[in-house]
Structure 1
């Protein structure tokens, strides 16, 4: 699992370990491994998903210590909430490198191992952002929709090798993710400032209400890992994500856009 040092990653690694799995937890800095120091069946490795060299180094170490890998959960991710006009190159590069290219590079690195053992499963963590488009999501949503498209395309390639691919979408879980989202600075543009405040407030309120969502996600990930689908699947977890998915599907993009403008932005 990538991004195992915080939030959903910690919860998922711990749950799988409690269920008797041998968990390979990867993180940007091995110093973060202390969180698992008392869990004997969680082994930690340093892996930076933005670096092909780091991925290959971690892969060599992992395969030296583990003959077989059943599941890879691509969980590493960050948020960036910004208006396009006010966006920063370095922040755009970071979110693309971690949220999308990180998934691509990790999958690319471990496909040969899955092929050689004629089994394996990629669970790529997406988001409701991968299914619908919402205000101030230009960058985060783009990366998550890229993960959705990439995963579906890759699934076709791996059909002959007993390698399962799926994506998992959910809303705002009560982890530290929202607190760590990078936002553009306030500007002299009143409309932008008002929209940023409104969207941030809505997301924070949603996160506080979803107090059971993390457990639901972790339990679903475990069920998916235990029972890999032979076909590409998209698993949507939680009321918010399912509601938005079906609303978008039922209304179509024009009516959905109208609802978001009227109900969320009051425009």
Structure 2
């Protein structure tokens, strides 16, 4: 049986991915920031849970030592841990900016840095870094979330060059709004003194909630595709886009270029 390490497995896509891999014969090393939050997967066959905070190098190293004591090899690392933050630049909060950067981007960096030596010593390994369609396109109120996801894209592509000689594969995965609690946690409920900001926040929030509700089948598509990627890794760096919405946005951005795409967003989203 192969071993997959997944970060951020206490809820959402991370939890669903852990369950799907375990169901399909993988040993799942499920990591999370709080073991109490991951009770839904405790005791599931083929799943073992570990405390790991992706923002802390000390926590990562501590978890790594325990994981390697229990598992001789790690075949795949899925960097899934992530948060959202939807705010206006003018009204953004330093602590929330630092938090999203620490988790969404630097968390990926630190976990990869910790496990590259493991993969190198093994002579093989595969990093699957969860990005987002936000890593490929830019949309209203996404200044912070999109920036971190585009950083993951650039980081992953650059890192892939470094690891070619060691048989270590790297890929990124993008998808849209899956029906999880993610959007609710990303939204700032407070009202602003500037009415234009309130109107835009309401418009974008309602649009994203509507998209999320429609994407009922997206979670199984994501977990199945992640399993397929892990089972058949591409030789060279590759981006995988999952779901109709994400693929449509990716194609439109590629075909139209940034100016026409920007006009399309202003016309149909901000009208």
Counterpart position of 1:265 = 270
**TM norm structure 2:** 0.97
In 1, Cα distance between equivalents of 2:184 and 2:41: 23
CA shift digits 1:46-92 (9 cap, x unpaired):
00000000000000000011000000000000000000000000000
Question: Match of 2:143, SS?
Answer: coil
Question: Match of 1:77, SS?
Answer: coil
Q: Does 1:144 align with 2:149?
A: yes
Counterpart position of 1:202 = 207
CA shift digits 1:180-234 (9 cap, x unpaired):
1142732110110000000000000000000000100000000000011110000
Q: Does 1:42 align with 2:47?
A: yes
1:181 to 166, 182, 186: 186
CA shift digits 1:90-124 (9 cap, x unpaired):
00000000000000000000000000000000000
Residues 173 and 207 of structure 1 are in contact (CA less than 8 Å); yes or no, is this contact kept in structure 2? yes
Residues 86 and 184 of structure 1 are in contact (CA less than 8 Å); yes or no, is this contact kept in structure 2? no
The RMSD of aligned alpha carbons is: 0.8
In 1, Cα distance between equivalents of 2:258 and 2:186: 27
In 1, Cα distance between equivalents of 2:147 and 2:188: 16
**TM norm structure 1:** 0.98
**Alignment map for 1:80-119 (pairs within 5 Å):** 80-119=85-124
Q: Judge which range, 57-66 or 172-181, deviates more.
A: 172-181
Counterpart position of 1:130 = 135
Specify every segment of 5 or more residues in structure 2 that has no aligned partner in the other structure, as ranges: 1-5
How far did residue 242 of structure 1 move? Answer: 0.5
Residues 132 and 244 of structure 1 are in contact (CA less than 8 Å); yes or no, is this contact kept in structure 2? yes
* Runs of 4+ more than 3 Å apart: none
Q: Does 1:247 align with 2:252?
A: yes
